[in-house]
């Protein structure tokens, strides 16, 4: 045989061969669209640090989820932006609070065409911006926060949410919410545990999107960016407590953790392509420094290749249209 003996390029020779040999695939049903709904507005409000992303009114939210259902993406994740906040996040479990009203509106609009998901965390609803109830010394009280989470989880389940996204990083949150749901008969309500949620620098634009009141940081409860094994341990604990799905967040800086979590658990593993990841690509593309569509699809494919079964991404709707057009 002539040199070289092995010729891997044969599998790259034509577009048809490359499609046939591709190891990792990306389809619309693997994408989940995060959406922000703001109380007291009648038209959508742009998020300046996230070009193309808006705070929705209830009416514009309905139109967007109908489009998402038509695009056949996997689901939507709803975040509420209330007009008023207090120390314990009272609006979070108020049946007439913006997030619960938005959940009812979305379920009414799309039914089971999408998996309707809701963020279960207090940070959008507190006047201090932390994900839990504060003690007198300013630290987050883990167990008092669990009581608020269970009340919030029950309110979201009653509003029709199919999946609760537990993103607060409190110890025991999955077990506490699962027990409360089961006791009230919501045994079919899914729990998505943000198991490996890291305290890092990629959340800034999101805080504009939810009008965060945070002062300081969340390093006492979110994971240290240097700790990969700890992310796996958190995922294992959440599975033991009853999580149906576990999450790694952010995605791009933690692909190694994502791969390790995927290898360690036997439930679906998701990743959140967060606001800072979105903003970086949009900013570079706006300057003409990168191919926008290529960078978006490559980043999503890389997250899938690392082990994510589904991805929360602000590009879900746009990427779904591209993927369907390429079929």
- Biggest CA–CA distance in the chain, Å, is 78
Tokens matching residue 277:
């990841």
Specify whether the CB–CB gap between 64 and 35 falls below 8 A: yes
| Residue of 50, 189, 215 lying closest to 123 (CA atoms) | 215
Annotated catalytic residue: which of 130, 197, 218, 262? 197
The Cα 267–Cα 269 span in angstroms is 6
Residue 325 burial by Cβ neighbours in a 10 Å radius (0-12, 13-18, 19+): exposed
Strand partners, 46: 54
- Catalytic status, residue 249: yes
Annotated catalytic residue: which of 148, 218, 249, 304? 249
The Cα 213–Cα 19 span in angstroms is 47
- Catalytic status, residue 215: no
The Cα 167–Cα 194 span in angstroms is 5
| Residue of 75, 55, 32, 95 lying closest to 206 (CA atoms) | 55
Residue 179 burial by Cβ neighbours in a 10 Å radius (0-12, 13-18, 19+): middle
User: Counting runs of H as helices and runs of E as strands, what totals does the chain give?
Assistant: 11, 10
What values do phi and psi take at 50, rounded to 5?
-135, 80
- Provide CB contacts within 8 A for 147, sequence distance 6+: none
By annotation, the residues acting in catalysis are 197, 249
């Amino acid at each position: 045989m002539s040199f070289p003996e092995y010729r891997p390029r044969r599998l790259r020779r034509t577009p048809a061969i490359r499609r046939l040999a591709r190891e990792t695939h990306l389809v619309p049903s693997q994408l989940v669209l995060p959406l922000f709904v703001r109380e007291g507005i009648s038209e959508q409000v742009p998020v300046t640090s996230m070009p193309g992303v808006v705070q929705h009114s209830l009416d514009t939210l309905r139109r967007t989820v109908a489009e998402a259902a038509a695009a056949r993406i996997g689901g939507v994740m709803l975040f509420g932006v209330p007009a008023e906040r207090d120390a314990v996040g009272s609006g979070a479990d108020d049946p007439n609070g913006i997030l619960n009203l938005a959940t009812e509106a979305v379920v009414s609009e799309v039914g089971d065409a999408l998996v309707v998901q809701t963020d279960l965390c207090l940070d959008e609803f507190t006047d201090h911006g932390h994900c839990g109830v504060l003690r007198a010394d300013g630290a987050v009280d883990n167990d008092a926060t669990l009581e608020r989470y269970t009340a919030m989880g029950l309110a979201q389940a009653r509003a029709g949410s199919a999946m609760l996204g537990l993103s607060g990083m409190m110890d025991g949150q999955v077990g506490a919410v699962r027990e409360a749901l089961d006791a009230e008969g919501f045994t079919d309500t899914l729990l998505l545990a943000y198991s490996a949620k890291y305290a890092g620098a990629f959340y800034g634009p999101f805080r504009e999107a939810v009008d965060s009141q945070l002062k300081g940081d969340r390093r006492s409860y979110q994971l240290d960016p240097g700790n990969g094994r700890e992310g796996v341990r958190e995922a294992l604990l959440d599975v033991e407590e009853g999580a149906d799905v576990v999450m790694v967040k952010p995605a791009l800086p933690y692909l190694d953790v994502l791969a390790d979590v995927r290898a360690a658990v036997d439930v679906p593993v998701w990743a959140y392509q967060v606001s800072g990841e979105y903003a970086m690509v949009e900013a570079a593309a706006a300057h003409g420094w990168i191919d926008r569509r290529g960078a978006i699809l490559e980043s999503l494919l890389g997250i899938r290749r690392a082990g994510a079964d589904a991805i929360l991404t602000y590009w879900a709707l746009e990427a779904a249209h591209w993927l369907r057009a390429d079929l």
